[in-house]
Structure 1
Amino acid sequence: MSIKEWQEALQYEINHLKKYGSTTFKVFNGHLLSTNDDFVYYFECPYAIRIPSGSIVKLDYDGVKVGGRVLSVEEKSIAVSLEKSIGHLVNKALIQHDPWELLEQLSDRLTDIRKSKKKRQRIKNLMDPSMPAKHPTSGIKSNVHELILRSKYNPITFVWGPPGTGKTYTLARVAANKYFKGKQVLVLAHSNQAVDVLMTEIWHFVEKKGRFKEGDIIRYGSQSQNSSEAIHTTKLIDKHHPNLAEKKAKLQNEKSGLKRDLSSSFSKRDAERLLKIEKELTAVLEKIRQKEIQFIKDASIIGTTLAKTAGDTTLFEKEFDLVIVDEASMAYIPQIAFATSLAKRTIVCGDFKQLPPIAASNHQSVVSWLKEDIFHKAGVVKLVNEGTWHPHLFLLKEQRRMHPDISAFTNKYIYQSLVSDHQSVLNTRNSIAAKAPFTSHASIILSTDWSGEYCIKEKESHSRLNPWQLMLSFQLIYESYIAGARSIGYVTPYRAQAMYMEKLFEDLLVKECQEADIVTATVHRFQGSERDVMIFDTVDSYPQTRAGMLLTGKNSERLLNVAITRTKGKFIHVTDVAFMKQHVSKFQILRKLIEYQLDNQLVIRPGHIGSWVKSQHPYVQWMHAKKVNKVFEDINKATKSILVSLPQKEKLSTEWKNVLQVVTTTQIAVTTITAISFPCVIIDEEIVWLGVPFETSSRLQPPYVAVRVQSSKLASQLCHDIM
């Protein structure tokens, strides 16, 4: 290990991101706002994107790539400043964003560390924790007590926190204990969400003890919905600098209104006003930042992200008594090393059985230092695998999140029986499992084998999607909601599938999402969250000829572990069992899960769909595919366009041929395609029929089922991806 090696790895990753980019967002309806000092464009986005203001981006327009910087992101719109003009109107483009500037800041911090013997020694303790443990081992009263002692007497403590084992509870009380003793604590994590959860728990505990003092505990930086306002710098600004807060709010509200106006009707006057507001808002935000710096200097517990810490002198020039790094398995090793250099003692907490850090480059140094987690590199995992225990590893080994029928698989096959269930978890989760769909089942497979060949790839990203499993999963979400569930998660390995579900939410579940906590995301984005009901959609199916690397590659066990362990009471696994048995090795963890559920008769076959679809959504109707009256009625009512997919056109029935022949004689634009593997009909880019004409399908066995979906967002996106 050397700091120079880390800097080389960071530079290879930076170079890769600059050259190729790795995160792409679609934008459309672009307008040139200004050509004064640079070229400012305003774009609309199909969904909310998360790019911080000031970030460097590349815009790809018809193959031409232009560098630029984000001015602002607001709901589903973005303003960017480009290096050169790409015209006054831009129909559609792609924005590539990779925060390589953050990696450059981290590299600069490592350069600073090389000059400090004290900081280098702290990092050596992290990477080679071979020193003997010095904490007392007798008289331990609880997990919290042991971790307090470990972090008092040892420079480094590794905490292995499997899902639901009380990681947040334990870390929060350790941080509070240090605070009560007058210590300075820095709480860090890879994501804002993880920081929010831990900081809120710390605040709740300190306040409950009656010892909370305003300004002592501060959440610094961006915050999610899970964050408590009482500890955020925004609250302090509102109270102590109300004029600045009011001016910021006024400008942001006016900016939002102007962006909505620009979305509906472009106006040069609005565009000029928007640019002026952006400049005024930037000046106000800088004044607020100066006030925040003073709050940070006076605080005792500060919570923020690893990335922000490396770029903020207020943080990295301060000396702490204790640094707590949560989500450590997802952070780059150089990030954790930098964090360790800031304090006398460090707690590194995470789960090396969950997702590792993500980097884009495949250079060997990047693979070695940016794609592996600290637990492996510090030698902790090696000892665990050998059946011995590292002296500085502390395991939280009793889970209280999952119903025992769910945790039984992960406890045995992923955690090798090192983790067990708390005695209370069955009683607390039974009420969730008892509800529909699949009453009294906490873990179950909904198999889609012999339902057709629906797995295709999204045009731009080539991410996989499966419209049939999408609609089955949507129905499961709706059935769960109707049965009383108010905490529901949908996860999938593929970004395209998650995006499709998000569009369905926007069109069809607006009221339900307002009344309940219903979320769709990729597995990677869901780490750290939990829901009562979880639907895991594997997507992969025919006509694909192999399962994707996300499900079978090096980190597939960790991905599957995250997908399962987000669940409290009901885990529904939507998958094509026949496909997985053919294309996934019996030694793979996904195959083991399928075999485990099959062996325990936890499976619902396609023929049982009539027994569990109880609640038809007003805009989603399931029916027998042979009953064609409704689809013919929709076709005859078409006013603009009809798109028909016929994978085996020669098998089309005479009845269907006659209906389509009549329509082609009208003024309606009729398009027939045969290159897609599943049959569907899309009418006026508003109504989608999947599963008809059923006779043109492959790999289809009775019952022949069709689904009608009235969703313009689904229809337009599906048209785009299959045309």
Structure 2
Amino acid sequence: MWHTTEMVKIFENMTEVYGYDIYQNRKLCVALCNDLFADYSVEKNIMQMLFQAGLGETMKGVPFKSERELKMGLSNIEKFLMAQAIESSVRDKVLDVMRLAFVDKGVNSEIKSAYQPVISKDFNDSHFKMTLPVIKEFVDRIEASFKFIYFNKGEKVDSVLEKCIITDKFGKMHSSRMDYKLLIHGRSKNVTISIPEDDKKIFISGSTIEFVFLCSNHKRITTSYQINISKKTMLMQIAVCQMTEEEYNRTIDIVGLLIKTIDNVVKSTNTIMAEGSSISATNEQPAYTSSDIKEYSDALRREIHYLKQGKGKKYKIVNGNKLVKSDKGIYTYLFEMETELHLPDDAPVVVEAAGGLRAVGSVLSCEDFQILLLLDRDLNDKVSLAYLMVEPWKLLEALDKKMNSLNPNINKLAIKIMEEGPDLSTDTDILNVPKGQPAVEHKLEIDDIVTVWGPPGTGKTYTMAKIANSYIAKGKSVLIVSHSNVSVDGVIKQVVKMLDTDKRSILENGKILRFGYVRDDELSQNLYATSFNYALSKCDNYARLLECLMAKRDELRATDQMKSKEYDEVEHKIKEIRGEIRKEERRYVERALVIGTTISRATIDPMFEGRQFDLVMFDEVSMAYVPQVIAAAALAKEKFMCVGDFRQLAPISQNPDSRVLQVDIFSYLQIVDGKGSMYWHPWLVMLNEQRRMAPAISEFPSKFIYNRLLKDNAVVINGKRKKDNDLVIKSAPLPGDALNLIDLVGTYCAADKNTDGSRFNIFSAIISFSTAVKVEQNHIKTVGIITPYAAQVRLIRAMLKDYYTKGTTNVSCATVHQFQGSESDVIVFDVVESYPKSAVGYLMGKEPNQVARLINVAITRGKGKVITVANARFWENVFKGTNHIFYKLLQHIKNGKHQVIDNHDKTLQPYIESINPGRIINIFMNEQDAIAMFEHDMKKAKWQVVVSLPSGELRETEHQVFEIFDEADRRGIDIKMKSNDYAKLPEQWKEYCVGTENATFPIIVIDDEVAWYGLPTAKWKFQVDKTTSMVTVVHTMIRIKGKNTIEMLKALTDLENVVVGQNTRKLVKKKGIMVTNSMAASSGNVSDSGSISNYGLGAFVEEKEFCPKCKNPMILVKNARGTAYLKCSNKACKERKYLTVDLMNWYINSHNVKCPKRDGGELKGGLSKYGPYIRCNCGHFLKPDEI
């Protein structure tokens, strides 16, 4: 803190002793300052330096005898101080001293007293007050934040926060630099001001901090605070003094500067400060419009409307627990996710629970298959199942806004794509397109729009990174965007990798930043290349605190306290700190030279509003909507380059009426037509040499996808890549071939779909998982399992999570869509499709061009080896004689004499035995060994066993398994069993079993801790058509012990539910619980009112049917004529309903009800003019209450 009052007194004493002439003697002034200012080291050093430099010579006119002399004298002194490069904060302090110490005593005291500060300890005499400043310390600056609170005292006073000054305990002063804040009268405002550290650290503990306000009422107000060791502030004083004319003129200049840079500022017409200042009106340009913009805008709005109606993607979330309710009515819930989502903090969501109950909220955190949500309503303490809907329409709304706000004077490249792109199309064969990486670089030099066609492995990422580095060398800005995080990661990673050693400082200074969610593990650990890590490295205090909190969270997780209030509080604190770091992150991203982010973030984030880059590059552009390409081009100032492959995955829209969104930029520019024909275009250049795949892999896409335009580069034929790939090819499993098929024909590899309609195949999932594990055990660096369906991914990821408990593995699993842009040494392609489904699912059976894209992406992810897992006979039966691309792949593998593992050659069973992963999954090929292990598990059963039997034709070992169930039942274990083939089951099994239509898989789950697939063995077969079936000959029994895998199996298979037609009910224990209708009848259990007791059909009705008016259960009753009908159980409600045939048959089929006359007859409901009845196929009739 500057000691103005003390200095004035010292100079007055010097003048009284030595006279004014003393100030002309440099040496004597320097010596006197050394003695007299000994207690004020900062002031002493400054004044000694100034007198040594000639301050005294500028004071020849002292004492100032009039106000005019004072102004002129201070003006000369200020010019001298500026010539000495004295910073503004010190300059003002020196001028204050000169003004107060060198005014003639004979002059009217008003001249002097007008500039004398009035000191107080509160804000009572000010037009504002401020909250205690909060001090935050960063590597490159100190930030002070407070709230400026305006007092309405009848006088309209505008203010400017001119500067903030920190004086540390060593006397060193540090000031903000032109970080002015305009504070309009009548308004309160949150204010943050920065003091840069430059090369010297600011020691804030024990320092003082001052805020200088310049006010329109000619007042200068300085508030001073002491900062203690814990960085808390305490008010010391408030100094109010009159401004000089020069200060006031400078204030007007500052306000003029601020008003020009602030939008929507309110004009202050009643103050002098507003004189000479004006708000520069924004010169609005009319937005560009065209028929294409209208068409895409309409499609986007249809998609938005479709999603808002809840028809878009829903994600199943399970095992929800309410952690806490806040005072503001916000409920915190922890859910487990069936699929791994990557949602940002604060992402808006909707949760739909049972009964259509909906809650709106936001994401608190989302990671590792768990999501913590803040919701606006109570969904009960536990929520077993719910559906999560994100709000993707917000991205589409932002995209629509971008499309409709293109400025012809600014967004010239975006408009050029629409106006010129399609018109430049030709019918010239694509063979003449320029080819190779040098051609891309040359094209970008001569053209402002370049479209790069890059098939898999042709060096798209390398080319983009090389171009980005050339722009870095020129000091030009680059924005890299893509549809996926994985793709952006790849390009930024390559940019960093290619940096010359002498350019590493560019990276270390935060000039290359990956902004957004980082999927790549290696890149996520980079301290400089990811914006969050870079910001964290600049926030030491936050970094330490975040590390402590995350350690605490891990501790709570390890001790299973995730449902505790403490865990919730820790998560909130982590989110709060991350929020602060995010603010810092944005500051650094704004200064970066090269930024990599997703197109969604670039579209919706205000940071990119109004900003343009010298070059914008769009990777994996085939997956992007055309409006997204236009939005990206709008961010380009000089050049725009889009990179992709129209033979890979296309954009996806949810609404069938928004098909125009499924057209990629290559189709829009008419480079490729609807039939797949390809044409030359003046913007097009091709990367035609692949450097990734072993030639045995690339042969298929080159021949069947790229019309042989895709060539093998020398590096995969005889270079380093060949050596690397050869090591992978030679490794087990399946050594010796790059292209392999595991044909599951002969196994019970059933496929089904879950409640979301996504297909899964438990047996192929286990084979794919086990194969990948075996690959990794042979020290292969990267292994990828890819599959068309999300349900299969969820199942395999659950296995990976159980198997690799420490989370460290080289095996990854994703859908084909998610894997686009990635690569692995070995790819396991799990196709999923199989019987009992008679046709392939949507993803593998839709429009041929789309399926070709999907298969192309799947096969071309592998560098050294691709292993396809499929039921080849299924594909042959469904697609033989067609051009289906996957059927062609199977034929290519077989006819090309590649390695095939199948039962025909007796190689399948030995292969399955060789890949037995152990630990959580154990594969048995010997039935007696499996039964012995199963018996061991059953003896440990504590409460229940759930059984699913696809077939009733059990093999001869069934009696061994039945005895194990029977013994468990005698010990009081609940045996819940269902079968698709109830009628063919041995009679003793029927005591435990009920009929169903959803027992597709042979599964046994014991206490939710151990599961078995393939027991008891049966004569399983897949019905191909009316006369043909495929019999299981390779009986494989699999023991599964993993919490996540078993939960996923139960969820996907709907294991604990019975389904008959459209009706679903809970699977319950049958033996010892089911009561026959003859028992009910013999007990005379009919009430006086005619209602039938809670046995049989009556209990079923009460469970399934509800009153349409009051929602109470309906009950089965009879009228005076004995006709059965339904009436509301609420006596006050008179609602009645018919007993329908469907309801009777639902009960008969779901409970396997037989004729009570014990003739074994099959029952069926009917309706006559006398009412509902039951008919036995033995020829007699029953009343509904008799079953």
Q: Does TM-score exceed 0.5, indicating one fold?
A: yes
Counterpart AA for 1:697: W
Alpha-carbon spacing, 1:142–1:38, altered in 2? closer, same or farther (3 Å): same
The correspondence for 1:353, drawn from 639, 647, 651, is 647
Shift of 1:436: 1.2
- CA-to-partner distance for each residue in 1:186-234, whole Å, 9 max, x for gaps? 1111122211211121122223464642232222222222424322223
Note closer, same or farther for the CA distance 1:193–1:432 as it changes in structure 2 (3 Å cut). Answer: same
Q: What are the within-5 Å matches in structure 2 for residues 568-583 of structure 1?
A: 568-583=863-878
Check 1:269–1:246 CA distance in 2 against 1; reply closer, same or farther (3 A cut): closer
Whether the aligned pair in 1 keeps the contact of 2:776 and 2:811 (CA below 8 Å) is no
8 Å Cα contact 1:331-1:357 kept in structure 2 = yes
Change (3 A) 1:480 1:267: closer
Residue in 2 that maps onto 1:136? none
Q: After superposition, what is the alpha-carbon deviation per residue over 1:55-87, rounded to whole angstroms, capped at 9, x for unaligned?
A: 121111102222222233244433323233323
Rounded Cα–Cα distance in structure 2 between residues aligned with 1:256 and 1:708: 31
CA shift for structure 1 position 385: 5.3
Structure ID, larger Rg: 2
Deviations 1:468-510 (A, max 9, x none): 1111112211221233323111111111111111111111233
AA in 2 matched with 1:596: H
The residue type equivalent to 1:232 in the other structure is T
Q: Deviation digits for residues 83-108 of structure 1, max 9, x if unmatched?
A: 33323443332212242212222222
| SS of match in other structure, 1:354 | coil
The amino acid of 2:561's aligned partner reads: S
Task: Tell me how large the CA RMSD over aligned residues is.
Answer: 2.8
Counterpart for residue 669 of structure 1: 974
Equivalent position of 1:604 in the other structure? 901
Q: What is the distance in 1 between the residues matched to 2:925 and 2:382?
A: 46
Name 1:14's counterpart in structure 2.
304
1:528 aligned partner = 821
Larger RCO of the pair (alpha carbons < 8 Å, separation 6+)? 1
User: Does 1:400 find its partner at 2:686?
Assistant: no
Moved more, 73-82 or 332-341: 73-82
Partner residue of 2:758 out of 463, 487, 498 = 463
**Conserved? CA contact 2:824–2:861, under 8 Å:** yes
Question: Where does the alignment leave 5 or more consecutive residues of structure 1 unmatched?
Answer: 134-139
Aligned to 2:1007: 684
What is the CA–CA distance in structure 1 between the aligned matches of 2:733 and 2:690, rounded to whole Å? 25
Cα distance in 2 for residues equivalent to 1:96 and 1:417: 44
Residue by residue over 1:553-593, the C-alpha shift from the partner in whole angstroms, topping out at 9 and shown as x without a partner, is 12211111111111011111100111111223621101111
Partner of 1:137: none
- Map of 1:32-51 to 2, 5 A cutoff? 33-46=324-337, 48-51=340-343
Between stretches 302-311 and 252-261, larger displacement belongs to 252-261
- The equivalent of 2:414 in structure 1 is 122
Q: More helix per residue: 1 or 2?
A: 1
AA at the equivalent of 1:362? P
In the superposition, the TM-score normalised over structure 2's length comes to 0.56
Cα distance in structure 1, aligned partners of 2:909 and 2:674? 51
Q: 1:412 to 1:659 in 2, by over 3 A?
A: same
More displaced 10-residue stretch of structure 1: 563-572 or 25-34: 25-34
- Cα distance per residue 1:340-395 (max 9 Å; x no partner): 112121100011111111221111xx211x22211111112249955642221111
CA drift at 1:19: 1.2
SS, match of residue 480 in structure 1: helix
Deviation for aligned residue 1:403: 1.1
2:1043 matched residue in structure 1: 712
Cα deviation, residue 412, structure 1: 0.5
Aligned equivalents of 2:675, 2:459: Cα separation in 1: 21
Alignment CA distance shift 1:51-1:127 (3 Å): farther
Distance 1:298 1:160, change over 3 A: same
Trace 1:241-640 onto structure 2 (pairs within 5 A): 241-251=539-549, 254=552, 264=561, 266-268=563-565, 271=568, 273-274=569-570, 277=573, 281-282=575-576, 284-285=577-578, 287-343=580-636, 344-363=638-657, 366-368=658-660, 370-382=661-673, 386=677, 388-426=679-717, 427-428=722-723, 429-452=725-748, 454-458=750-754, 460-510=755-805, 514=808, 516-554=809-847, 555-584=850-879, 586-602=882-898, 603-606=900-903, 607-612=906-911, 613-619=913-919, 620-624=921-925, 626-627=927-928, 628-640=931-943
Partners in 1 of 2:396 and 2:775 — Cα distance? Answer: 43
Q: Partner of 2:864: helix, strand, or coil?
A: strand
2:1033 to 687, 702, 709: 702
Deviates more, 1:325-334 or 1:578-587: 578-587
CA–CA separation in structure 2 for the residues paired with 1:486 and 1:275 = 34
For 1:141 and 1:462, locate their aligned partners in 2 and report how far apart those are by CA, in whole Å.
44
Distance 2:703 2:828 in 1: 21
Deviations 1:144-200 (A, max 9, x none): 433232112212100011111111111111111122123221111112221121112
Which deviates more from structure 2 when the two are superposed, residues 143-152 or residues 59-68?
Answer: 143-152
645-654 vs 576-585, which deviates more?
645-654
Quick one: which amino acid aligns to residue 304 of structure 2? I
Instruction: Flag the 1:439–1:240 CA change in 2: closer, same or farther, 3 A.
Output: closer
Q: How does 1:14-163 map to 2 (within 5 A)?
A: 14-20=304-310, 21-31=312-322, 33-46=324-337, 48-62=340-354, 63-113=356-406, 115-119=407-411, 122-125=414-417, 128-129=420-421, 130=423, 143-163=436-456
1:127–1:377 Cα contact (<8 Å) kept:
no
**Aligned with 2:662: secondary structure?**
coil
- Contact 2:443–2:450 at 8 Å: present in 1 too? yes
CA gap 1:504/1:196 in 2 versus in 1, 3 angstroms: same
Partner AA of 1:216 in structure 2: K
Tell me by how many angstroms 1:121 deviates. Answer: 5.4
Within 1, Cα distance between the matches of 2:325 and 2:608? 37
Residue 116 of structure 1: SS of its match in structure 2? coil
> Quick one: distance in 2 between partners of 1:709 and 1:718?
10
Following the alignment from structure 2 to structure 1, what is the Cα–Cα distance between the partners of residues 762 and 445? Answer: 54
In 2, distance between residues paired with 1:382 and 1:484? 44
Cα offsets for 1:270-318 (capped at 9, x unmatched): 54x358626xx44x55544443344334322221111111122332311
Pairing 1:234–2:527 present:
no
C-alpha change, 1:119 and 1:416, in structure 2 (3 Å) is same
- Cα gap change, 1:493 to 1:79, in 2 (>3 Å): same
CA distance in 2, matches of 1:616, 1:193: 32
Matched residues in 2 for 1:286 and 1:90: separation? 29
Distance 1:78 1:510, change over 3 A: closer
How many residues end up aligned between the 2 structures?
705
- The offset of 1:321, in angstroms, is 1.6
- 1:617-640 CA distances to partner (integer Å, 9 max, x unpaired)? 333333335424333443344333
- Structure 1, 296-305 or 235-244: larger mean CA deviation: 235-244
User: What is the CA-CA distance between 1:608 and the residue it aligns to?
Assistant: 1.6
Contact 1:206 1:212 in 2 (8 A): no
Q: Given that residues 541 and 579 in structure 1 are in contact (C-alpha distance below 8 angstroms), is that contact kept between their aligned partners in structure 2? A: yes
Contact 1:648/1:697, CA 8 A, preserved across alignment: yes
Structure 2, gaps ≥5 residues long: 1-290, 427-432, 981-998, 1022-1029, 1057-1187
CA distance in 1, matches of 2:1019, 2:901: 25
When residues 35 and 396 of structure 1 are mapped into structure 2, their CA distance, relative to the original with a 3 A threshold, is same
CA contact (8 A) 1:677 1:697 kept: no
Q: What SS does structure 1 have at the residue aligned with 2:914? A: coil
User: Cα deviation per residue 1:535-556 (whole Å; 9 max; x = unaligned)?
Assistant: 1111111111111121121221
Three-state SS of the structure 2 residue aligned to 1:345 is: strand
**Is the Cα contact below 8 Å between 1:354 and 1:559 reproduced in 2?**
yes
8 Å contact from structure 1 (residues 55, 99) kept in 2: no
